[in-house]
Structure 1
């Protein structure tokens, strides 16, 4: 493209120079020739006028007097009746320019000039025109190269940007070129890059969340199926199968919840539900894992609480907190329910070392973890809580105390606080 732009611009300039240059040469040549002829004719008239005036005044007429009236480069022949012919200058050889004039008393004057003077003048004019044409060509080439670079380089950049987008690199370049049409294309590509970047981020986030959130119910389901495989008691099989079906339902709910959040994290189906049932479900689900680790999980606080939210999402939040205490905490894990204002609060704490001081409030950021874990669980839990209009906070670092705040039903009962322990 760059070469085509340069060639086209140069072709236009050459055509213009050829048309106007030839015309200018013809006009200048004729002008110089006419001017030389007029000059010779004018000099002949002037000489005959001088001769005529001196003859009328009976003044001396000789070559010395007339030499002062003629250009030294020219030749003049003066004929006066009754006198010898006078010649001034050197008679030129070859082609000449002639000028003649006749006086009132029969005097005749012939002035000649070598045409080489006209040829030299025409040559100088042609040289000037050629220099101007050459300068115009050089300027045109430089301008064409500049314009070609100005147009070709942005197109190359835009092609590279489009190629990067196609190869999965959605970073916008935010580069503009001062050409409205090209800048418009750059704006569209940058907007597309932003959209593709958001889509890729959402897909990666969904994949990471799914791998993390599905791990717990799949592990619980696997444990129930192992219990079924190891027992011959029909009642035990039925009981474990019922629990396994519950796990399958929860697994389905987790998948639906993840898909819903990937489309719009604020879309939820909040209802009034029993907080006791969700807490009880989580305690029963995590009891085997804690028992295997030689640890206990304790339930305390107010019972009979109602909360507004999505039971599946609340269960996932509690599962993330309980799993976090199992992996990073120590000793007994306490799940406590309480009321503050018009909110129901579920606290999860343990007797471990707590959250490292350097993490602090960053514990809820993605990929932030105190140990070798994904750092996704608490971030997803906070997103789920906020999607239901609640919030998840860390109330204390050492030992770690996490609290889930949910809106209460307007007519929630105010039962006295009592404690239940499950080991």
Structure 2
């Protein structure tokens, strides 16, 4: 690109120089020739005036008297009436410029000047024009190189930015070049980089959330299937199979919720449900795991509470808190229900050492973990709680107490585009 810009600029300059330079040479040559001719004619007229003045004054007119009036580079021939012509100066060789004049007393004066003087003057003019043209070419080349670098370097940077985007590095560069068109391209690339970064973040977050949220129901399902393989009692097989089917339904609900949140994070499916059913489901699900480590899980508090939310999401939040207590807590885990204002609260606590002081409120941040775990369980749980208008908080650090707050009245959501337009295709 640099070469093409330099070549095109240089070609334009050469064309301009050729057109205007040739025209200027022709005009200057003609001007110099005309000026020389007029100069010689004026010289002849001047000599004729001198001769007239001397003839009128009855003075002598000869070559010696007029020699001082003629410059060394000129040659003059004067012819008086009735007298032979006489010459002043040396007759030039080659082509000459000749001027004629006739005086009032009938005398004729012819002045000649070598054309070589005109040639020399034309040569000097051509040299000056050639030097000016050369300077113009040099200046054009330097300007072309500067402009080529100014345009080519940003394009190289933009190409590198596009290459980085294609290789999976979506960091915007926020670099501008002072050229509106190139800055516009840079703006578009930076905007695209930010969108790609958001999409990659969303995809990574979806993958992390999916792996975490699917792990618990898959583990529970695996435990139920193991119980089936270890027993020959038909009633036990039937009971465990029913529990396994419940886990499959829960797993399906988790997958559907993940996909729904990936398409539209603001979409919720909150309904009014009985908290006791969700809590009892979690107790039945986690008791085998707690018995396996010699611990217990119990529930207490107000019964028959109605709350607004997505039962599957609430179950996921409680499962995350119960699993967190199993991994990091100690002693008996208790689920307590109570009412505060217009909200139903489920508190999950255990008898363990609690949350380290250095974690504090950061416990809900992603990648923050007190041990070698993923660090996204509580963050996902908070997102699930907030998706339906609830909230998840750490009420106490030692012993640890987490509270899930759920509304007891339905939340009014603004109508979506699909609700307003019955013809919308899903």
Q: TM-score, normalised by structure 2?
A: 0.91
**Structure 2 counterpart of 1:230:** 230
Structure 2, unaligned stretches of length 5 or more?
A: 411-426
1:371 lines up with 2:371 in the alignment:
yes
**Structure 2 counterpart of 1:269:** 269
The alpha carbon displacement at 1:176 in A equals 3.2
Of residues 375-384 and 257-266 in structure 1, the stretch that sits farther from structure 2 once superposed is 257-266
Distance (whole Å) between structure 1 residues aligned to residue 216 and residue 341 of structure 2 = 33
Question: For residues 356-413 of structure 1, what are the alpha-carbon distances to aligned partners after superposition, in whole Å with 9 as ceiling and x for unaligned?
Answer: 2222211111111121111110110000000010001111222221111001259xxx
Q: SS state of the match for residue 268, structure 2?
A: coil
Change (3 A) 1:90 1:271: same
1:149 lines up with 2:141 in the alignment:
no
Distance (whole Å) between structure 1 residues aligned to residue 201 and residue 295 of structure 2 = 38
Structure-to-structure mapping, 1:125-164, within 5 angstroms:
125-164=125-164
**Structure 1 counterpart of 2:311:** 311
**Structure 1 counterpart of 2:23:** 23
Distance (whole Å) between structure 2 residues aligned to residue 68 and residue 402 of structure 1 = 124
Distance (whole Å) between structure 1 residues aligned to residue 347 and residue 407 of structure 2 = 15
The alpha carbon displacement at 1:248 in A equals 0.9
Question: For residues 164-208 of structure 1, what are the alpha-carbon distances to aligned partners after superposition, in whole Å with 9 as ceiling and x for unaligned?
Answer: 322222223333334343333333333332222222211111111
The alpha carbon displacement at 1:328 in A equals 1.3
Q: How many residues align?
A: 410
Q: SS state of the match for residue 278, structure 1?
A: helix
1:14 lines up with 2:14 in the alignment:
yes
Of residues 297-306 and 44-53 in structure 1, the stretch that sits farther from structure 2 once superposed is 297-306
**Structure 1 counterpart of 2:214:** 214
Distance (whole Å) between structure 2 residues aligned to residue 67 and residue 205 of structure 1 = 109
Distance (whole Å) between structure 1 residues aligned to residue 136 and residue 202 of structure 2 = 58
Distance (whole Å) between structure 2 residues aligned to residue 405 and residue 301 of structure 1 = 15
Distance (whole Å) between structure 2 residues aligned to residue 399 and residue 14 of structure 1 = 87
Structure-to-structure mapping, 1:78-157, within 5 angstroms:
78-81=78-81, 86-157=86-157
**Structure 2 counterpart of 1:416:** none
Distance (whole Å) between structure 2 residues aligned to residue 58 and residue 397 of structure 1 = 138
Q: TM-score, normalised by structure 1?
A: 0.91
The alpha carbon displacement at 1:10 in A equals 1.6
Distance (whole Å) between structure 1 residues aligned to residue 87 and residue 399 of structure 2 = 131
The alpha carbon displacement at 1:347 in A equals 0.9
Structure possessing the higher relative contact order (Cα contacts under 8 Å, 6 or more residues apart): 1
**Structure 1 counterpart of 2:242:** 242
**RMSD, aligned CA:** 2.0
Distance (whole Å) between structure 2 residues aligned to residue 71 and residue 260 of structure 1 = 107
The alpha carbon displacement at 1:85 in A equals 5.0
The alpha carbon displacement at 1:23 in A equals 1.6
Q: SS state of the match for residue 214, structure 1?
A: helix
Question: For residues 339-368 of structure 1, what are the alpha-carbon distances to aligned partners after superposition, in whole Å with 9 as ceiling and x for unaligned?
Answer: 111111111112222222222211111111
Distance (whole Å) between structure 1 residues aligned to residue 397 and residue 110 of structure 2 = 122
1:382 lines up with 2:379 in the alignment:
no
